[in-house]
Amino acid sequence: MVTHVGAEAQGDERGALLSFLEEQRGGIRRALLGLTEEQARSRPSASELSLGGLLKHVAEVEQSWVARARQEPPAIRRDESNWHETFQLVGDETVASQLGYWEEVAAETEKLVRSAPSLDDTFPLPPDPWFPPEGRVSLRWLCLHLIRETARHAGHADIIRESLDGRTAFELVALEQAG
């Protein structure tokens, strides 16, 4: 853990889940601090991952899960033909535009989680082959899944950033606090 997540108010499970999710979002945002668009698009390792691509991916994934919870279609439907685009900035997409989009998505996530009658409320999983038929998950599961997904990619972002210019997560926290 690079930053501290404060203890939730007594009984504020929603606040705790949202705080841990935001802490992981911060790791990805910090990995992009001070980089040019070219650096954010670059792939400095054997992986196809770039920081800009990771940013786009986590924003899309979060949006798609919030849409599923609302029983709406995701803003962008991904399948085998366009899955690769979820991990790369294409066309006129920029780090700034993706950060702005992710901020909107994060606000929608918070609105959903805070306004739901219960974190035990469930919603159906889509009929994709990797989900169990007739599967359902709770809003609590959604929060935990988003924390896990974002944390996984925040770790990738740490490695990519350090490969680009040697800056570590601790240095980026200090840079963010100084800025």
pLDDT at 145 > cutoff 80: yes
- DSSP letters, the chain, are --SPPPPPPTT-HHHHHHHHHHHHHHHHHHHTTT--HHHHH---SSSS--HHHHHHHHHHHHHHHHHHHTT---SS---TTTGGGGGS--TT--HHHHHHHHHHHHHHHHHHHHHSS-TT-EEEPPS-TTSPTT-EEEHHHHHHHHHHHHHHHHHHHHHHHHHHH---HHHHHHHHHH-
Q: If you average pLDDT over every residue of the chain, what do you get?
A: 93
Q: For the segment 50-101, what is each residue's pLDDT rounded down to a tens digit?
A: 999 999 999 999 999 999 999 999 999 888 888 889 999 999 999 999 999 9
pLDDT at 81: 87
pTM for the full predicted model:
0.93
Model confidence at 108, pLDDT cuts 50, 70, 90, reads very high
Model confidence at 27, pLDDT cuts 50, 70, 90, reads very high
Percent of the chain with pLDDT over 90: 77
